[in-house]
Amino acid sequence: MTERLVRPWEAVDFDRLVREYVPPPEYFDTAYLASPDEIAAVQLTRVRERARRAATVPFFAERWAAAGVGPDDLRTLDDLARFPTYTVDDIRRSIDAHPPFGDYQGVTPADAVREPVRVFMSGGTTGRSRPTFYTQWDREVGSLLTARALSRQGIRPGDVVLNSWAYGLHNGAFSFDEALHHWLNCVVLTTSTGNVTSTERQVELAIEYGATAVCTTGDYLLRMAEAATALGYDPKVDLKLRALPNIGDPDVLSETFGVEYFRSYGFHEVQWVSVECPAHDGLHIFEDAFVVQIVDPETGAELPDGELGAIVITELYKTGSPQFRYNIMDLSWLYPPGRCECGSWLRRMGPFSGRGDNMVKLRGINLWPEGVGEVACALDGVEPDYFVRVWRDGTRDEMEIAVVSRRDPGGHPALADDLERVLQQRFGVRIHARVVGPGGLDADTELHTSPKPKRFRDERSQDRR
Ligand SMILES: [Zn+2]
């Protein structure tokens, strides 16, 4: 006899789910305003539960045994620091040793008869894709968290929203889709990227349906604005955008569309982690679902509040594959604890500020490619788009930043000279500059195929013939 299938409504107790993880919009009037004691109590209960679950997953069990810690050692939230962190390299090694899923999953395809299971992947341009398996509960809570961010950004029930992320192996498009569909009662137009539905068609659909937001990169949204202008529309008037859930330059996006921009942070294994409030001074962490810590990217030691370091995430909401002290190597910082002027006690973090594994030592100077890009893009005549390369010339490391300009190509060399001077002044080291026309970097940045544009390539380890 075949095993009886567990149906979605049996797999998830939705009453309990919305009690424990309050959805928007009521979230912002309830859990968002919880007292520090309430927040800490919820976190401790949940982190213990997650530790007990993670201890049954070989990847964590082995690491914790080696470090001499276990779930019973979690008496206060401070004890979390005793548990080892891990990075994407550890995930890669786990997959190599236990192909194809690794030994870090809490569920596998074999569990799909017990309840609906989904898998999404990241990476894979070099080496194996890195899968994460999700239970039905994990999908629902993760989408609900994403919906909190989208709601704060201005998306409202009943809105029509274009989802122009790539519906591919990656979680990106699906997490927006599920958040909008299940938790914000929005009508999603599943356009996917410009390769699937042409940019002109997307513009026409957005106008015909009165779309209030387009889920995509900031860069692609600006491209849509250009296409709208070329079709004879005024992007500020004819596109009825009311929310900017787009990763990009806040000032440029706000100005182009006349809409307030709220920064947010998330990544595919855990979905949305934090979002800015109307005070625009830090991103409030959804602390009923996460503990965020900041560590030194090189040593892994916890850093004081305010210092830039790598984000270490412990999710508190899942039932499947755990992320317990995952050093995601994105850079940010924590604000000191305290009440924000919006009324929330939820800890605040800075916005995404670069990658911790991208640090380049150029003639003794520590450089983050994103930091170089920020300075370059502030120069007059330079568009918010860049790509940094590092290579070895004999015994010297060299860095080049390529930027985009709409100026006449005849003026590109002079602009490159200006940029090199600015970078030399700012960083005290020679950085080569190159200027290209619009679209000239798309192959390097993978703007149209990757959920987050690539900004950096280290060519030093490649065989250069
Ligand atoms: Zn606030």
Ligand 1 centroid – CA 45 distance (Å): 25
Q: Which of 220, 239, 261 represents a domain boundary (last residue)?
A: 261
Tokens read off for 66? 């080696």
Q: Are residues 343 and 222 in the same domain?
A: no
CATH code (residue 228):
3.40.50.980
From the list 84, 25, 33, the residue with the least C-alpha distance to 59 is: 84
pLDDT band with cut points at 50, 70 and 90 for residue 464 = very low
pLDDT on residue 465: 34
Give dist(CA 234, CA 225) in Å, integer.
8
The residue among 349, 374, 407 that closes a domain is 349
Phi, psi of 60 (to 5 degrees): -80, -40
On whether residue 3 sits in a domain, the answer given is no
Instruction: Say if CB 223 and CB 199 are below 8 A apart.
Output: yes
Centroid of ligand 1 to alpha carbon of 105 (angstroms): 35
**Position 94 pLDDT exceeds 70:** yes
Residue 194 lies inside a defined structural domain of this protein: yes
Query: Closest by alpha carbon to 377, among 419, 412, 414, 410?
Result: 419
Is there a single domain that holds both residue 134 and residue 274? yes
The alpha carbon of 242 and the centre of ligand 1 are apart by a number of angstroms equal to 21
**Ligand 1 mean position, distance from CA 276 (Å):** 7
Q: How far is ligand 1, taken at its centre, from the CA of residue 294, in Å?
A: 20
Ligand 1 centroid distance, CA of 277 (Å): 5
Q: Classify burial at 76, counting beta carbons within 10 Å of its beta carbon; exposed 0-12, middle 13-18, buried 19 or more.
A: exposed
Tell me the pLDDT band of 127, cut-offs 50, 70 and 90.
low
Give residue 251 CA to ligand 1 midpoint distance, Å: 20
Residue 34 Cα to ligand 1 middle (Å): 13
Is residue 189 over pLDDT 60? yes
13 with 121, same domain: the answer is yes
Residues 18 and 129 in one domain: yes
User: What's the 245 CA to ligand 1 centre distance in angstroms?
Assistant: 18
Mean pLDDT computed over every residue of the chain: 93
In the reported structure, the alpha carbon of residue 413 is separated from the centroid of ligand 1 by a whole-number distance in angstroms of 45
Query: Cis bond leading into 451, ω under 30°?
Result: no
294 and 245 assigned to the same domain: no
Nearest to 143 by CA among 45, 21, 29: 21
* Four-CA torsion 78, 84, 90, 96, nearest 10 degrees: -120
**Given pLDDT bands bounded at 50, 70 and 90, which one contains residue 124?**
low
- Are residues 195 and 273 both part of a single domain? no
Task: Verify that 293 and 438 share a domain, yes or no.
Answer: no
pLDDT band at 235 (very low <50, low <70, confident <90, very high): very high
Residue 147 lies in a domain: no
Looking at residue 460, what is its pLDDT?
86
Centre of ligand 1 from the C-alpha of residue 341, in Å: 6
Same domain, 274 and 344: yes
* Residue 226 forms part of a structural domain: yes
| Ligand 1 geometric centre to CA of 154 (Å) | 16
Q: What is the pTM of this model?
A: 0.84
Whether residue 374 has pLDDT greater than 90: no
Q: How far does residue 15's CA lie from ligand 1's centre (Å)?
A: 28
- Residue with the bigger pLDDT between 222 and 365: it is 222
Adjacent-strand bridge partners of 314: 291
Mean pLDDT on 69-96? 96
Q: How far is the CA of 120 from the centre of ligand 1 (A)?
A: 32
Say if residue 71's pLDDT is above 80: yes
Write down which residue in 214, 243, 261 finishes a domain: 261
Spatial CB neighbours of 362, under 8 Å, sequence gap ≥ 6: 390, 397, 399, 429, 431
**pLDDT of residue 66 exceeding 60:** yes
CA of 37 to the centre of ligand 1 (A): 18
Q: Is the dihedral of CA 99, 100, 104, 108 positive or negative?
A: negative
pLDDT tens-digit series, residues 134-150 = 999 999 999 999 999 99
* pLDDT confidence bin for 223, thresholds 50/70/90: very high
Q: How far is the CA of 36 from the centre of ligand 1 (A)?
A: 14
Look at the chain and report how many structural domains it folds into. 3
Please give the pLDDT value at position 409: 95
pLDDT top residue among 96 and 460: 96
Q: Is the residue at 354 inside a domain?
A: no
Residues 210 and 284 in one domain: no
Ligand 1: centre distance to CA 280 (Å): 7
CA of 146 to the centre of ligand 1 (A): 18
Cα 29 to middle of ligand 1, angstroms: 13
Q: Is residue 463 part of a domain?
A: no
Cα–ligand 1 centroid distance for 209 (angstroms) = 33
Question: How many angstroms does the Cα of residue 262 sit away from the middle of ligand 1?
Answer: 11
Asked, for residue 322, whether it belongs to a domain, the answer is: yes
Closest CA to 215 of 285, 286, 254, 166: 166
Clarify whether residues 368 and 303 are in a common domain.
no
The three state secondary structure string of the chain is CCCCCCCHHHHCCHHHHHHHCCCCCHHHHCHHHCCHHHHHHHHHHHHHHHHHHHCCCHHHHHHHHHHCCCHHHCCCHHHHHHCCCECHHHHHHHHHHCCCCCCCCCCCHHHHHCCCEEEEEEECCCCCEEEEEEEHHHHHHHHHHHHHHHHHCCCCCCCEEEECCCCCCCCHHHHHHHHHHHHCCCEEECCCCCCCCCHHHHHHHHHHCCCCEEECEHHHHHHHHHHHHHCCCCHHHHCCCCCCCCECCHHHHHHHHCCCCCCEEEECCCEEEEEECCCCCCEEECCCCEEEEEECCCCCCECCCCCCEEEEEEECCCCCCCCCCEEEEEEECECCCCCCCCCCCCCEECCCCCEHHHCEEECCEEECHHHHHHHHHCCCCCCCCEEEEEEEECCEEEEEEEEECCCCHHHHHHHHHHHHHHHHHHHCCCCEEEEECCCCCHHHHCCCCCCCCCCEEECCCCCCC
Residues with CB under 5 A from ligand 1 (ion): 277, 279, 340, 342, 344
Q: For residues 273 and 292, is the Cβ–Cβ distance under 8 A?
A: yes
The CATH number of the domain holding residue 279 is 3.40.50.12780
Quote the ligand 1 centre to 264 CA distance (angstroms). 13
pLDDT(125) > 60: no
Measured in degrees and rounded to the nearest 5, phi and psi for residue 383 equal -80, 160
If asked whether residues 336 and 399 sit together in one domain, one would say no
Instruction: Tell me the residue range of the domain where 277 lies.
Output: 8-138+265-349
Ligand 1 centre distance from Cα of residue 129 (Å)? 37
Separation of CA 343 and ligand 1 centre (Å): 6
Question: What pLDDT, on a 0 to 100 scale, did the predictor assign at position 123?
Answer: 72
Q: How far is the CA of 250 from the centre of ligand 1 (A)?
A: 18
Cα 4 to ligand 1 centroid, rounded to whole Å: 47
CA-to-CA distance for 144 and 139, rounded, in angstroms? 8
Higher pLDDT, 465 or 165: 165
Of the candidates 378, 379, 355, the residue with the CA atom closest to the CA atom of residue 367 = 355
166 near 192, Cβ under 8 Å? yes
Question: What spacing in Å lies between the alpha carbon of 312 and ligand 1's midpoint?
Answer: 22
Q: How far is the CA of 293 from the centre of ligand 1 (A)?
A: 19
C-alpha 160 – ligand 1 centre gap (Å): 28
* Residues sharing a CB contact under 8 Å with residue 178, sequence separation 6 or more, in sequence order: 139, 140, 142, 143, 146
Does residue 399 belong to any structural domain of this protein?
A: yes
Question: Cα of 68 to ligand 1 centre, how many Å?
Answer: 39
For residues 132 and 271, state if they share a domain: yes
